[in-house]
Structure 1
Amino acid sequence: MTDPEHREPDTPEWLLWPIRVLALIIVLPVRFVWELLDRCVTAVYRHVLVPLGRATGWLLRTLLVVPALWLARQVLRWLIFPVWRVLRWIGGKLWWVVRGILGGVIALLALVGVGLWSYLLHPLYRWVLRPIGVALAVVLRAVRVRVVAAIRVVYRRVLVPIGQGIAWAWWFSYRRILTPIGHGLRWVGRLTYRRVLRPAGLAIAGSARVTGIALRWTWRHTLGPVFEAVGAAGRWVRAEVLRPAGRTVRAALGLPPSS
């Protein structure tokens, strides 16, 4: 039993009857049509589709699957397997012939290679290529010595003086040009901060403070009460109109009351 102090107020009679009439006109025909369609679909599935599917499966198995399996078994037994045995016998004989030919060719190539190395390549390497390589090594060593000496002279006579001149120019530019410019920029920045940026920042901060005070006063004395009144009106509508209407609709449709 519910507590009398927390019992919900009764639904108005003038709102209950129209909702019941609408539920009787709309819900009952829809429910009747839905039940009829459900029974029809179930009957068609049980008495038409299921027997038809079973008959179709039996016909496919009898007319297609079983003859196809028998035909495949006969083809494998009397055509594929005999042909495979014949091809395997022929392949074995051909492999014996090819192996003999490849052995002879490899042996002939080995003999030719040994003859070429012994009578052509080895003498060519020993009496031609090796002397040419030794001569090229001597020439390259002499060229390397000359090139290293020339690079050393260029480094001492050209690159070192250029580097020293660049270093002196950098030192002079830093001491006589960049340092005075840096001091001047620092003085200008300090003066700009003290005379321009700091007063402007203080003025902006004061303006923001005054604007915040004005907005706070406006909210407290104008917008705040308006929003509070709108919220109170919304809560009253939900408690006095929407909730009773929702309970009436649930009672008319036979639904359990919301918690």
Structure 2
Amino acid sequence: MDLEKLDAERPAPPVHRHPSRQPEVAAGEGCLVVAIRLPVRIVVFLVVLPVRLVWDACAVAARWLDRAVFRPLGRALLWAGRAVFVWPLVGLWRYVLVPLGRALAWLGNLVVVVPAGWLYRYVLVPLGHALVWLYTRVLTPFGHGVMWVLRGIGSVSAVIGLGVFAALSWLTRYLVVVPGVWLYTWVLTPVGRTVAWCAKGLAWLVGVLVTGIGTGLYWITRILFVLPLLAVWRWVLVPVGRVLAVVAREIWNALGHAWRVAGYVSLAVGRFLKALFRWVVVEPVRWVYTRVLTPVGHVVRDAVLRPAAEAARAVGRAVRQSLASARLTLRRTRADLRRVLVGEQRPVRGENRREPIGGDTRTLGSSTTALTKD
């Protein structure tokens, strides 16, 4: 009995569960949530399934278009762009603009830089030295003399100005400042204090009136508007909002589950269609190509095409030999006709006619002219 009591009092070990294997009904969910969840998921699944099928079909079509159409088209457009724009521009830059720029740089150096350097060296530098000498030797002493004269004139003017300023200060003090201080002390200050006391009393009265009116308006607004709106918010909108939040959350979760389940269904449908297309179209075509067309093609190649090609090559060789024989016969006939009509031509020896060699040396009894030559 003691062991049983100890086993009953011992806390149970925690159970570790995978996050994806949590129970469907979480803690705190009521019967309304459970009653809404299953119909909402069924309806959402029936709505989402065609959308997911269309989406997956569009994705497969887009991948096929990208692989079979857009990439080759992009490569072709890239090659065409290079051929139309890049290569002409490179040729223009390399064979036109660069030589033209070098020629313009050489011309600018010859026309602008060299004359400017000559002007600076032989005109501006001597002119600058001359101006410096003029400033140092002429203008500076003249300026010092002028400044000495101006300092003397300024000292005299300062003495006269100080006297005038002292007289004006005394007159201003006793004609303006002293009467102004007396007027501020004995007239403006009492009047200002009286006006300030009256303004404070008026402000206090206006504040009391505004406070009373504001308090009345506050309670009227609170009783007529705030309390009814608070009751509507607390007892109507908050419960409705909670119900709508539960419905919206369940619809969102149902959309997620339906999208995933529709993905599995779409994958299964795609695999089924792929297998159906393979066994209905691809495999028969492959079987026909392998079992029928390939042997027939081999038979046609071995029995028809190769003998025909060999016969064609033999005919070609015979035709070429016939044409060669005909050309040779024609050449011989033409040579015989020329020999009959013109006679046998003596072979032309490639020798120097200016100086005879060998047995044709010049002697006294022989002649080398064309008329008396043997």
| TM-score (norm: length of structure 1) | 0.49
Larger radius of gyration: 2
Quick check: which one's helix share is greater? 1
| TM-score (norm: length of structure 2) | 0.36
Higher RCO (CA 8 Å, separation ≥ 6 residues): 1
